[in-house]
Amino acid sequence: MSFGDRPALITAGGTVSYADLAARVAATARRLGGSPRLVMLSGANTVDAVVAYLAALSGGHPLLLVTAGAAGDLAAAYDPDVVLHPTAGGLVFEERRAASAHAVHPDLALLLSTSGSTGSPKLVRLSLDNLQANAEAIAEYLDIRPTDRAATTLPMHYCYGLSVINSHLLRGAGLILTELSVTDACFWDLFRAERGTAFAGVPYTFDLLDRIGFERMRLPHLRYVTQAGGRLAPDRVRRYAALGRRAGWDLFVMYGQTEATARMAYLPPELAPTRPSTIGVPIPGGSFRLSPLPEGAPGTGELVYSGPNVMLGYASEPADLALGRTVDELHTGDIARRAPDGLYEIVGRCGQFAKIRGLRIDPLRVEHLLDRHAVTAYCVGGDDELLVAAREPADPARVRRLVVAGTGLPPGAVRVAAVAELPRLPSGKPDHAAVRGLAFPTGLSPADDLCALYAEVLDVDGVTPDHSFVSLGGDSLSYVEMSLRLERALGHLPVDWHTTPIRSLRAPSRPRRRHALDTTVALRAVAIVLVVGTHATLFNLSGGAHLLLGVAGFNFARFHLTGAGRGERLRHIGASIRRIAVPSVAWIAAVMLVSGQYGLPSLFLLGGVFGPSPGWSGWHFWFVEALVYILAVAAALLAVPALDRLERRYPYGFPIGVLLIGLLTRYDVFGLREHYHVPSAVRVFWLFAIGWAAAKATTGWQRAVVTLAAVVTVPGYFDDPAREAVVLAGLVLLIWVPSLPSAGVVNRVAGVLAAGSLYIYLTHWQVYPRLDHHNALLAVVASLAVGLAYAALAPLVRRAAAALVRRARAAARFRRSRANARASISKPRAFALDRQESP
């Protein structure tokens, strides 16, 4: 340790300098003795564990590094001479014998379980040269500096977590030692307080980061984030790379195996946006080759790695500890291709091992595990889940618990099917290929079958039972269809179904005869009928559009102002604006082409900004324009971190403040209307604020305050008592009555009308004028029918357009790839130099 007083190990309780660390390591090494003994250490992200690890290496004692849960099995299999247990009270020594009972090769320094297969007697044998070479390579391409401070987000016994320790200590950097999860606010408090510059994650870590709103965190000293332990989806690589560019840090996507000490390849950060599906280039000092496979696709082969970090070999029993090097290169078991630009891409597996949620799982060992519990089963794995076919009378729930306990996989990654007979080949051997064809229930809850329904209605991918309607970006436009489809599927919906995880939605044990209709759905259905009926002179009950503004504010608060991160909130609001603006602009453009009725201000939803002119009919879309503007302004406000925090802290008081500001224009306090044209959005957004406040009112007195605001402000606004009564009655219902007694057929009719309300509003201007002078009722029915037809057509057009965009992007990526390939062929040495010099 030559870094003196520089901080080496940083914990919430204090800091250990490099000089102090060296002294502690020396003292522990002396206690371990001068003759090599097999030492087993339960790894932990603590000072004592790091000291013990370094002491064993420096003293020449081969170290078996294990997780606490596997310590018993591995101790029984390898009979260590010394067992070390880091505890809250210090490092506990269990010295079983003074001299080693094992013959150990002098090069052997470290024994690790293969990635994820904790408890397996099959271990990876590593030398000090392996550890040194891999740490130096990692430190080189990450450009680790003495000023860096990396947090220990991964277990020490996992080769990835251990590589973080090795590479940073090599360069004199600091380690923020913690076993806190990234979901714990205390982790980030410590990270910020200690000026953290780096942390590492497996794909599941990034799932957790998404949930906690990582993108809005302020981490001023963060310099780089690394990812390994399984494939991170290319779109997420792009997203995190873009987030890093904006925030000033780099994303390093990496590839490795325990058999290579840790790392074999990395993707230079500047290539992450354009080549996110690749593993990149070999680490400094390493190289790849492709070994042809008998039935491999052209240009592919098994990826074989060579380098000074390749393990000595495997150990399956204590006698193997005496072996020297038995492996010169590493056959990874991954099928890969090399692109013309020199980047490698994994395209499959040629063995049975599967990487699931960052863990390398051997399905055969899972079968053996279950056999020990009197369960006969066949297992196959993929990138996302382990499939287990168990012979009856096995209980799928019990089988899942055994697999989860034995592998460390989360329950959602294990699917179990109980079958009468396990599939076999004619030879009598297991037919693992046939296992994939079995019908596997998820086994988590009956609601898992609803994931496909959510994906269909919301037009999103990757729906899991942990998602809810709100977390998937659902809004008022999709709420109605989703509620109708769910009610048909389940027979009944709880009031808070939109925020309830899919896994918690289930049909009632007894069918319910009574039906209830969500008040917002009822108000939207009634309001659009009032709008069309009044315009078609079937009756005269104005106020429907203004009532819809209040409903829009209520739904805005309900669907968008959730506990999600600021970035996710803004994305969902932006999606809602697009769902309103795109079909509106499309309809206006079509009418312009056919009849020339509207002008460019209407086309760009700017009619309310430019104001009326002779013969102007752009006022038709004042409601759409006002709603788009109000949502855009709300998004702009919540994009300000201080205002976002204020809204979260005072979810009811914030809209009350917005309402008070809105009343300035409601009562024209500054007399603007006498001198200027004031857009409708400015004049009416107080109604939106009333709906917003109503959604956030959780107590009787809060609802009473909102009701009082409506009672005081609505009368006198229109100088039309009937119109004001319609708006006020609707707002009072919105505030006090979450649902109305109904019937099944009423729910279906109201749901269809509410879901199509925007489209009906857009199209009725071109329908009723052609019929109302003949028959007003016919004009209303026709207007509703045309609007509903447009509502049915719009999603089809949207999906087709999205498919065209995806194809265009794919074509653009292909053209860029070809251009890069031609460039790399013309300058082959330039890339090689860049690769060697890249940090």
Tokens of 607: 């009619």
> Residue type at 685?
F
Q: Which residue has the higher pLDDT, 346 or 382?
A: 346
DSSP state, 421?
S
- Residue 607 confidence class, pLDDT cut points 50, 70, 90: confident
Q: Distance (Å, rounded) from C-alpha 416 to C-alpha 434?
A: 14
Helix (H, G, I), strand (E, B) or coil at 102: coil
Which pLDDT belongs to residue 425? 59
Tell me the H-state helices in 194-311.
203-211, 234-247
Which domain CATH number covers 306? 3.40.50.12780
Q: Is 116 left (phi over 0), alpha (psi -120 to 50) or beta?
A: left
Which pLDDT belongs to residue 837? 29
Indicate whether 68 pLDDT > 60. Answer: yes
Pairing status of strand 263-267 against strand 281-282: antiparallel
| Segment among 63-67, 322-326, 719-723, 799-803 with least mean pLDDT | 799-803
- 367 in Cβ contact with 387 (< 8 Å): no
Q: Are residues 336 and 360 both part of a single domain? A: no
**Axis-axis angle for helices 757-767, 519-535 (nearest 10):** 10
Long-range contacts from 656-663, C-beta under 8 angstroms, 24+ separation? 656/693, 656/705, 658/685, 658/689, 658/692, 659/686, 659/689, 659/690, 659/692, 659/693, 659/709, 662/686, 662/688, 662/689, 663/713
- 407 in Cβ contact with 381 (< 8 Å): no
Which pLDDT belongs to residue 382? 65
Helix (H, G, I), strand (E, B) or coil at 104: coil
> Residue type at 588?
I
- Residue 723 confidence class, pLDDT cut points 50, 70, 90: very high
Phi, psi of 466, deg, nearest 5: -80, -15
Indicate whether 578 pLDDT > 50. Answer: yes
Q: What percent of the chain shows pLDDT beyond 90? A: 58
Q: Are residues 599 and 490 both part of a single domain? A: no
Indicate whether 827 pLDDT > 90. Answer: no
> Of the candidates 296, 324, 349, which is a domain's last residue?
349
- CA proximity to 761, closest of 620, 567, 566, 586: 620
Q: What is the pLDDT of residues 729-776, one digit of tens each?
A: 999 999 999 989 988 789 889 989 999 999 999 999 999 999 978 899
| Segment among 282-291, 497-506, 563-572, 633-642 with least mean pLDDT | 497-506
Q: Which residue has the higher pLDDT, 93 or 2?
A: 93
Residue 774 lies in a domain: yes
Identify which of 98-112, 390-404, 814-828 has the greatest average pLDDT. Answer: 98-112
> Of the candidates 349, 382, 409, which is a domain's last residue?
349
Average pLDDT over residues 130-146: 97
Residue 832 lies in a domain: no
Indicate whether 799 pLDDT > 80. Answer: no
- Please report, for residues 11, 198, 709, the alpha-carbon distance to residue 47 in angstroms, rounded to integers and kept in the order given: 8, 19, 60
Q: What is the pLDDT of residues 642-669, one digit of tens each?
A: 999 999 999 999 999 999 999 999 999 9
Range of the domain at 400: 354-443
Q: Distance (Å, rounded) from C-alpha 656 to C-alpha 658?
A: 5
> Of the candidates 794, 812, 830, which is a domain's last residue?
794
Q: Distance (Å, rounded) from C-alpha 204 to C-alpha 206?
A: 5
> Residue type at 370?
L
Cα four-point dihedral sign 254, 258, 259, 261: positive
Which pLDDT belongs to residue 11? 94
Tokens of 76: 């029984």
DSSP state, 430?
B
- 655 preceded by a cis bond (ω within 30 of 0): no
| Segment among 362-376, 404-418, 685-699, 822-836 with least mean pLDDT | 822-836
Pairing status of strand 313-315 against strand 300-306: unpaired
- Residue 116 confidence class, pLDDT cut points 50, 70, 90: very low
**Axis-axis angle for helices 757-767, 776-826 (nearest 10):** 120
Q: Distance (Å, rounded) from C-alpha 629 to C-alpha 76?
A: 69
CA dihedral 474, 479, 483, 485 (to 10 degrees): -80
Indicate whether 681 pLDDT > 70. Answer: yes
Which pLDDT belongs to residue 836? 29
Indicate whether 252 pLDDT > 50. Answer: yes
Pairing status of strand 7-11 against strand 174-176: parallel
Which pLDDT belongs to residue 365? 76
- Token pair 């998602």 is found at 467
Which pLDDT belongs to residue 3? 87
DSSP string, 254-287: EEE-GGGSSEEEEE-GGGTTT-TTS-BEEPTT-E
Residue 808 lies in a domain: no
Q: Which residue has the higher pLDDT, 279 or 807?
A: 279
| Segment among 437-446, 785-794, 825-834 with least mean pLDDT | 825-834
Q: Distance (Å, rounded) from C-alpha 496 to C-alpha 446?
A: 18
Tokens of 218: 């302020």
Q: Are residues 507 and 533 both part of a single domain? A: no
- Residue 832 confidence class, pLDDT cut points 50, 70, 90: very low
Average pLDDT over residues 2-23: 93
Q: Distance (Å, rounded) from C-alpha 763 to C-alpha 824?
A: 55
Average pLDDT over residues 204-212: 87
Which domain CATH number covers 403? 3.30.300.30
Q: Distance (Å, rounded) from C-alpha 20 to C-alpha 9?
A: 10
Indicate whether 2 pLDDT > 90. Answer: no
Domain count, the chain: 4
Residue 154 lies in a domain: yes
Residue 781 lies in a domain: yes
- CA proximity to 188, closest of 240, 153, 147, 225: 153
Which pLDDT belongs to residue 831? 27
Average pLDDT over residues 103-113: 95
Q: Which residue has the higher pLDDT, 31 or 830?
A: 31
Q: Which residue has the higher pLDDT, 401 or 590?
A: 590
Average pLDDT over residues 588-600: 91
Q: What is the pLDDT of residues 475-500, one digit of tens each?
A: 877 888 788 777 776 767 777 788 88
Q: Are residues 484 and 541 both part of a single domain? A: no
Which pLDDT belongs to residue 707? 97
Q: Are residues 303 and 425 both part of a single domain? A: no
Residue 385 lies in a domain: yes
- CA proximity to 236, closest of 212, 190, 205, 282: 205
- 2 in Cβ contact with 169 (< 8 Å): no
Which pLDDT belongs to residue 440? 78
Q: Mean pLDDT of all residues in the chain?
A: 86
DSSP string, 122-191: -EEEEEHHHHHHHHHHHHHHHT--TT-EEE--S-TTSHHHHHHHHHHHHTT-EEE-----TTSHHHHHHH
Q: Are residues 417 and 469 both part of a single domain? A: no
Strand blocks (E) in 534-598: none
Residue 807 lies in a domain: no
Indicate whether 118 pLDDT > 90. Answer: no
Q: Are residues 225 and 331 both part of a single domain? A: yes
User: Which secondary structure element, helix H or strand E, spans residue 834, and what is its range?
Assistant: helix 828-837
- Token pair 């009378």 is found at 393
Which pLDDT belongs to residue 538? 94
Q: Are residues 194 and 109 both part of a single domain? A: yes
Which domain CATH number covers 490? 1.10.1200.10
Which pLDDT belongs to residue 272? 96
Average pLDDT over residues 432-450: 65
Q: What percent of the chain shows pLDDT beyond 70? A: 88
Q: Are residues 367 and 342 both part of a single domain? A: no
- Please report, for residues 397, 551, 714, the alpha-carbon distance to residue 730 in angstroms, rounded to integers and kept in the order given: 49, 9, 11
Which pLDDT belongs to residue 709? 96
Q: What is the pLDDT of residues 497-523, one digit of tens each?
A: 888 888 778 765 554 556 788 999 999
Beta bridge mates, 807: none
Which pLDDT belongs to residue 833? 27
| Segment among 13-27, 100-114, 290-304 with least mean pLDDT | 290-304
- Token pair 């090689």 is found at 832
Q: Are residues 330 and 421 both part of a single domain? A: no
Residue 405 lies in a domain: yes
- Please report, for residues 350, 619, 622, 676, 677, the alpha-carbon distance to residue 611 in angstroms, rounded to integers and kept in the order given: 68, 9, 10, 10, 6
Indicate whether 814 pLDDT > 60. Answer: no
Which pLDDT belongs to residue 470? 87
Q: Are residues 468 and 546 both part of a single domain? A: no
Q: Are residues 307 and 359 both part of a single domain? A: no
DSSP string, 739-751: EEEE-HHHHHHHH
Average pLDDT over residues 519-530: 96
